[in-house]
Amino acid sequence: MALEYKIKLGLKLLLLMLCTFNLQAQCPKLVWFDEFDGTALDQTKWNYQIGDGCDINLCGWGNNELEYYQRQNVEVSNGILKIIAKNERVGNSNYTSGRIRTNQKGDFKYGRFEARMKLPKDQGMWPAFWMLPTDEVYGYWPQSGEIDIMELIGREANKSYGTIHYGKPAPNNRSASSNYTLLSGVFNDDYHVFALEWEPTTIRWYIDDYLYATKTTSDVFPERWPYDQRFHILLNLAVGGNWPGNPNGSTVFPQAMEVDYVRVYDGNAPYISGPQNVAFKAQQQTYTIGAVDANTKVTWTVPAGASVVSGQGTPNLTLNWGDKGGLLQAEVQTPCGAKIYKVVIAVAPDFGRDFSLKNFDQASVLKLNFATGQLTENFANPAKSAVNSTNLCAKYIRAGGSQYDVIIYDGTAVPDLNVFVRKEKKFYIDMYTDAPVGTTVLLQFENSNRSLPNNYPSGRHSRFQAVTTTRNQWERIELPFLDQPDPSIAGTSIDRVTILLNPNTYTSHTYYFDNLDGYAAGVTAVQEILPRPETIFKLFPNPANEVLTLENKGEKNIQSVMVYSIDGQVLLQRKLNLPSKEQSTIDLKGLPVGTLLFKVILDDGKAAVQSLMKTQK
């Protein structure tokens, strides 16, 4: 037996002894475990599941998976369980893998379930640590529920999902899901502890003692909460299927899901919680050590650039963040011993206005195709404010008889949507409405050749969604990435933008909208757009071909000019020192055809930006 393995085994036994010795201190009691310390799977605790699901009328295991499960793909050695996926043909399957469960050997109602694992990567890999009902008291899947403690799909090897399934039989089944993304690296780099705590009305998910999701009975209402019966544990590594997609030429075989241990406790364990991704210079952010007494002493260590507002020495810490994040640590002493809890915090970069998709004081490449309701463009701003002080906006009265009311604009306005899907850039819109707070604003980017009503979602490259937070006043709303209904559409082929206001309702509220813009990190100069650039300078002709005339209409000298592409790249930069009321010509030769942003910088440092159309000669 290798020395390293002996040391590891000794540490595991010590841990189990400490758990036992601390029972009088109300520490969680270890009620079931497998440390995988033998040379074969312990069949007093686990059952093998064999085949492709066809023998139980569930070919492809209900997900069009491609693997055939067999015993020889489950290995135990040196304290590690390995479930191995291989590219080999058995029966009608081109791949093999392993699947085990504790059914009738480890069945539980409530508790803490955790496993320390290192996960596979690459397209088509689908490891899972999950639970199914033992008795199916409420009926066949998903009526009796499913609890997914950890699922990962190989193409997103840095993201773990926690999900509950419930509701009526398929296809009317329901689910509620959350996910956790590593800020650096992937789950194949090292082992991580995935845990779930299940109580009568609440289920919580953790990764490395960080609480990232909670679901309660209200999340499944009005459906039944089926999580009040016995469940058993499953471990498997699927290959292909509806969700991860099938392996491709980049997928490496064999691959393994490695499990150091699986443990079940009868109580809760301390954890750290709080926002992991925060805004630039976010203030009053609270972090908590949970499942400890309020008087527990906690020593917090915060990264440089963050400042403690209150709570040092207690389980509840309030921080102000600066322009960068880092490792937040909490050293905690409890009756169960001392432990350091850690979470890496990411501070978002300072995003500035990069380009305008649609506003009504400047020309736009987007042209109206269709509107279900009453749209009036270039409408006088009904209530100028610090949020929106422009003269013109759009007024829209939603068609109350339409469930999915749309405003459709055509034009190639964004060269590559993928940077927004990756959250490297963001969309914002100004909104003023008499609709209730919480009204949905949905932005879709489409390919017009494929975005037909009868083949949805084909052609919908990506969707961005927000909700209103106020009523009858202007607000600036970020539209975060929602999903990608049709990944086969290239992000560079988008020529249609669709806005849906309060979709899936029959409402007829009035909406004013303006300044549908793209924002990028580090763009500060373009962020300083003046509300009325026409009072500062004039461009003509616009559209222009090779030569453009700039007239200084303001009182300050124009020190320099810059021309940007709409994705923020500087295409031209020129010093001018153009006095007030004078003109200068700008050579546009070599600049790309399409919508550009023309920026002037005044001698007092202020800037103004206007869109420019460059045409072909």
* Single-letter code of the amino acid located at 33: F
124: left (phi over 0), alpha (psi -120 to 50) or beta: left
Q: Characterize the bridge pairing of strands 159-167 and 74-77.
A: unpaired
Cβ(134)–Cβ(230) below 8 Å: yes
Q: What distances in angstroms separate CA 87 from CA 101, 118, 122, 151, 224, one per listed residue?
A: 23, 20, 13, 21, 41
- Rounded distance between C-alpha atoms, residue 566 and residue 573, angstroms: 15
CB-facing half-sphere around the CA of 121: CA atoms within 13 A: 12
- Rounded distance between C-alpha atoms, residue 325 and residue 266, angstroms: 36
- Rounded distance between C-alpha atoms, residue 174 and residue 225, angstroms: 12
- Rounded distance between C-alpha atoms, residue 386 and residue 321, angstroms: 25
E strand or H helix that includes residue 324 = none
Q: Which residues of 481-498 are buried (b: 16+ CB within 10 A; e: fewer)?
A: beebbbeebebebbbbbb
| Marked catalytic residue, from 146, 197, 258, 446 | 146
For the question of residue 151 being annotated catalytic, the response is: yes
E strand or H helix that includes residue 33 = strand 30-34
Structure tokens at 443: 């932005």
Structure tokens at 133: 């009902």
Compute the C-alpha angle 396/398/399, nearest 5°: 135
Closest by Cα among 527, 500, 502, 503 to 515 = 527
- Rounded distance between C-alpha atoms, residue 576 and residue 8, angstroms: 71
Provide the β-strand partners of residue 289.
272
Cβ(414)–Cβ(494) below 8 Å: yes
CB-based contacts of 583, cutoff 8 Å, min separation 6: 549, 550, 551, 552
Residue 104 phi, psi (nearest 5): 70, 5
Instruction: Give the strands of the sheet with 558-565, arranged side by side.
Output: 570-578, 558-565, 594-602, 607-614
Cβ(367)–Cβ(595) below 8 Å: no
For the question of residue 156 being annotated catalytic, the response is: no
Cβ(396)–Cβ(373) below 8 Å: yes
Closest by Cα among 607, 615, 508, 598 to 562 = 598
Residue in this structure with the two tokens 């222009």, named with its chain if needed: 544
- Rounded distance between C-alpha atoms, residue 139 and residue 441, angstroms: 38
CB-based contacts of 77, cutoff 8 Å, min separation 6: 39
CB-facing half-sphere around the CA of 537: CA atoms within 13 A: 35
Structure tokens at 115: 């496993």
| Marked catalytic residue, from 114, 151, 258, 446 | 151
Residue in this structure with the two tokens 């072909």, named with its chain if needed: 616
CB-based contacts of 328, cutoff 8 Å, min separation 6: 272, 274, 287, 300, 301, 302, 303, 306, 319, 342, 343, 344, 345
Supply the residues annotated as catalytic. Answer: 146, 151
